[in-house]
Structure 1
């Protein structure tokens, strides 16, 4: 039995990070000892464009309170246009989630380059704050994504 009050609740966030930029930015934040919330669990992917929207839905089904997909800045994708495909896919996914009753802000997208360790920390802080404001997902999240 969990008797934590709402203020003690910390969201669990799954982050799919592009190997070439966002993951390297996260690594730079770590090696530079830049502080950011420990709520994120990182999954390194070759390119943000390779993240199947079903992975995001599965993360929500399995208990993630929020999901972040982060890739290279526009024009800097190591696979030419993978990040632009990702952005289009996740716009559609967010619309679908909203349609089935899941707050679209539970899924967020960002651009972080390998040299932006401080920006990575800012993004994680922002996403964590956004998910905290949304609160714990209702049962509807699990039901809507099944």
Structure 2
């Protein structure tokens, strides 16, 4: 049997983390190709439903990453993101998502190596957890029919 390769969705800031990920590639730093990035104007604008939709559409893990505190292009977006992240974690726990599957990090445009390290670390953690199969399900634990899921 082939080794499990997790699907990871990363919601990243356009101004910092996305540029840092770009630097990772242009610097030819190797990192796991399991991450699908979704570029946001600012992580302060991320919505809880985006995280749930990622899991609902087959993601095994989620990363949210933006500018370091004090470096936000929009002045305070990363502070909003940090506050929202606290709430998101509680809501994800409430709906049954294993919190080891969600990660929050600050990565600047100059931290390509940090992005590669983050992706590789998250991939290893998710790989150890195995596929995420807890969502969506019926209340009795059986999977939903394919046309509904």
Check whether TM > 0.5. Answer: yes
Match of 1:23 in 2: 18
Q: State whether structure 2 residue 114 is matched by structure 1 residue 141.
A: no
Gap runs ≥5 in structure 2: 139-148
User: Which residue of 82, 99, 103 maps to 2:98?
Assistant: 103
CA–CA distance in structure 2, aligned partners of residues 129 and 69 of structure 1: 17
Which is richer in helix? 1
Which structure 1 residue ranges, 5 or more long, are not aligned?
Answer: none
Matches within 5 A, 1:107-118: 107-118=102-113
Larger radius of gyration: 2
What is the SS of the residue equivalent to 1:56?
A: helix
- Residue correspondence of structure 1 range 1-146 to structure 2 within 5 A: 4=1, 8-138=3-133, 140-143=134-137
* Alpha-carbon distance, 1:99 to partner: 2.1
Measure, in 1, the Cα distance between the counterparts of 2:29 and 2:58.
27
Q: CA RMSD in A?
A: 1.5
* Distance across 1 between alignment mates of 2:102 and 2:17: 16
How far apart, in 1, do the equivalents of 2:101 and 2:136 lie?
Answer: 13
